[in-house]
Amino acid sequence: MQLFRTLIATCLALGATPASLQPAPASATPTAQKPAYQTKAPAGAPNVVIVLLDDVGFGAASTFGGPVETPVLDALAREGLRYNNFHTTAICSPTRSALLTGRNAHATGIGAVANVPDERPGYSGFHTKDTATIAEVLRQNGYNTAAFGKWHQTPDWELSASGPFDRWPTGEGFERFYGFHGGETDQYDPSLYDGTSPVMRPAGRNYHLTEDLAGKAIDWLRLQHAVTPAKPVFLYFAPGAAHAPLQAPRAWIDRYRGKFDQGWDKLREQIFARQKALGVIPAHTQLTARMPDLPAWDTLSPDQKRVASRLMEVYAGFLAHTDAQVGKLVEALKASGQFDNTMFFYIVGDNGASSEGGLLGSASYFAPVQGLPETDAMRLAQLDALGGPGTYAHFPAGWAWALNTPFKWSKAVASHLGGTRNPMVVTWPKRMAQRGTLRSQFGHVNDIVPTILEAAQIQAPSMVNGIPQKPIDGASLLSSFADAKAPSRHATQYFEVFGHRAIYHDGWLASAFHSRRPWSVIDYGQKRFEDDQWELYDLTTDFSQARDLAQREPVRLAAMKDLFLREAARNQVLPLRNLSPTDARALPSLAAGRTSATFTQGAVGVPESSLPKTYNRSWSVSATIDIDAGARGVIATLGGHSAGWSLYLDGDGYPVFTYRLFNLKTVTLRGLAPLSAGRHQLRFDFDYDGGGYGKGAAVQLLVDGKPVGQDRLPASPPGFYTIDESFDVGIDHGSAAGEYPAEAMPGYAFGGGHIDRVLLELR
């Protein structure tokens, strides 16, 4: 190195330049174009932000006549445009897939929720590589990309630390991902991932996930702007709100105390009147009738009404709190000067409001979902705690029906607008002149991708990463930005979820409700599809789908049914099939055939679906540990606060096993003395009663082979503890399954020794 420096100095002193540092003669200069070290976005390409809320009906937000105050959405509507004829797929994963790819959901492979797949190509639960996301397309065209919040588009068998990770957000075009994978998560102790790694939520007593997601998204926006101010960004912000569990800060919930005591029948009338006054529905719109099997408010007992009202207050607080967090994103963009050239989509729900809480609601809704009854007394006992840490609430189906005003039905019913019609507000100050006005062109979530591409002047690629791409199904909404009377560019759209199906074409909608009631989550009805009754609606004169014209227009209905079959065949919807508990048997499973599994310390974030199936049978979990005096923390755990179990050493060093059976019973078995330093064997036995699904069991804890505690459980989960929590060794990732010391949270990590192994085995 010194010799080289001497040579350079000598050459410079002599006025010469080493040949290796001299420019090539002009005649030797390559004529080929210089390589593009960085891809630049087209000049003037806008930033893009998509906010997608969860389980919010057409009539929930104040911007569209609802009872929940959404001042941020109101302000954006004044600065931009409100869309009242925009549609989703009626359920979460398919909506997200269509939104991010621009294709119909079944064409991407996600025609049903990602955790309820089957072997049909349209229902596999993951994107096929020929339907690249808008994140990947924009990333390859000079954008920075990030996703914060709910993903729910990766199949269960790919959600462990074993991967593969190409169908995780960071494998689908997002350079940064911070959020959760399942359909839901606890808002106070979420099952979080940063990239592909499970992480604990930040410490603190006042934590809430939506606030955390907004803060992380703002940090990302600021960093991108500081480092590459000329580079546009694509931000996908998908909070868990207002999907169950309904959880929000107490102050936000209490704002709505007493505001829903009138019940859902009256609330529906109030929303309908406000919608007409705001002009978000036509003046001639009819209010559809309540479904016969949905109870009227006046049929509830006083105690049932008290619980139902409080659950609606929790929902309202949850939604209002979320709107405020979206406002933080808006203010951050404005403060940095980026908002003017940001195309901001605020989509109010990935489907209609959810009826999955059942007819009376629930304080811990996954118990009744699986057929474990919850009494009025159980719900009433948690009245004051609802919405706070340790609760897992969902509201009654009647509130979902009200929040979907003026439409019939709710989430998961793809045949009717209560499931598929969602509000949207779009702003883009640089390009929007007619601000604060209404747009009624037919739109669908698959229209967002072509809208972004047209605005950014990027062609939809025919090839991505060497793989030919399916054509885009959506149509750009950009022409509607400038002209309220611009014709709808999206002429035909099918819908299908759980056999409920519909076909839209040029203002007409043909609908066929199948058998599954949306408040009966596990419903394996075997009704024949050919027996379904088709309905026909002229949506150009019937905004709310209230007047069935099937008898008057049989020829048109027959043509619409034929069109549905053609579209269904083209998009991998066929064959139609009733939901079955055996649907996923032909798909990969990390648990298939396993009767035992052994883990060591550091195994974190293992999906429940990857473990040997301990439901409806006897099983054991045992651990071998080497500890010092004063060892504390989680040894092994599965599930979370709503349901699950945990083996741990408490704050005094006693071995403890906690088993949570939703809000039906919690069993805590505690050793007789703190463990001494050295090697120990801990074991928990679950001795199933037998005789069918979800039966009870005798349980016991053993320390070094000696029983130290026994109890009985009246029932057990027939299918799952949770859909979002995980199995962990050495820490509790997500909400707490055990009764840990508050000062050691989150996670209650194991310390003071080593966990040699944990064995889970079926018996």
Buried-exposed string 340-361: b where 16+ CB fall within 10 A, e elsewhere: ebbbbbbbbbbbbbbbbbbbbb
pLDDT digits (tens, 9 = 90+) for 77-116: 999 999 999 999 999 999 999 999 999 999 999 999 887 8
pLDDT digits (tens, 9 = 90+) for 506-530: 999 999 999 889 998 776 667 899 9
**pLDDT attached to residue 116:** 83
**714 pLDDT exceeds 70?**
yes
Structural domains in the chain, CATH included, are 47-280+312-355+396-484 (3.40.720.10), 494-584 (3.30.1120.10), 596-762 (2.60.120.200)
Identity of the residue numbered 260 = F
> Taking residues 594-605, what's their average pLDDT?
96
**33 pLDDT exceeds 90?**
no
Q: Which residue would you say has higher pLDDT here, 669 or 182?
A: 669
On the CB side of 283, CA atoms within 13 Å amount to: 1
**15 pLDDT exceeds 50?**
no
CA distance 701 to 348: 48
Instruction: State the pTM of this model.
Output: 0.94
**pLDDT attached to residue 14:** 39
**pLDDT attached to residue 8:** 40
**pLDDT attached to residue 586:** 75
**755 pLDDT exceeds 80?**
yes
**271 pLDDT exceeds 60?**
yes
Asked whether the CA dihedral 344, 345, 346, 350 is positive or negative, the reply is: negative
End-to-end CA distance of the chain: 70
What the block records as the tokens of 111 is 């025609």
Nearest C-alpha neighbor of 653 from the set 680, 685, 620: 680
In contact, 391 and 660? CB cutoff 8 Å: no
**141 pLDDT exceeds 70?**
yes
In contact, 213 and 239? CB cutoff 8 Å: yes
